Amino acid sequence: EAGVTQFPSHSVIEKGQTVTLRCDPISGHDNLYWYRRVMGKEIKFLLHFVKESKQDESGMPNNRFLAERTGGTYSTLKVQPAELEDSGVYFCASSQYRGIRETQYFGPGTRLLVL
């Protein structure tokens, strides 16, 4: 069974440009999460989808970030326009159920560098 996949693995863009990150969860997993680790800081929650609906987006830093999950399958996270402080590693995770005991399975992350 394929794990959580993320694309691209690395992205280098200039300040002001747009970048779109993609996450494909494990097949059958209704719950999809985005997290981010800025250099030297903790991994922080961004948002949570249940199928195509945003369940919790309390961690989204500002309106330059837009997450979508059309059809409840893969998800995209768009940053527009990108700023220097957006650099970091963006992780996606998925789980089959919503319960807090459920394991979240993480992808390898997308390393974003904004110059």
What is the DSSP annotation of 74-98? -EEEEESS--GGG-EEEEEEEESS-
CB of 105 to another protein, least distance (A): 8
**Residues 17, 13: Cα–Cα separation, whole Å:** 7
Contact 51, 114 (CB under 8 A): no
CB of 97 to another protein, least distance (A): 10
- Count of CB atoms within 10 A of residue 4's CB? 21
CB of 109 to another protein, least distance (A): 6
Chain residues binding another protein by CB under 8 A are 3-4, 31, 33, 35, 41-45, 48, 55-56, 59, 91, 93, 98, 100-101, 103-109
Cβ-based nearer residue to another protein, 47 or 114: 47
Cβ-based nearer residue to another protein, 61 or 81: 61
Q: In this structure, which amino acid lies at residue 52?
A: E
Cβ-based nearer residue to another protein, 56 or 85: 56
Cβ-based nearer residue to another protein, 43 or 66: 43
Exposed/middle/buried for residue 9 (C-beta within 10 Å: 0-12, 13-18, 19+): exposed
CB of 26 to another protein, least distance (A): 12
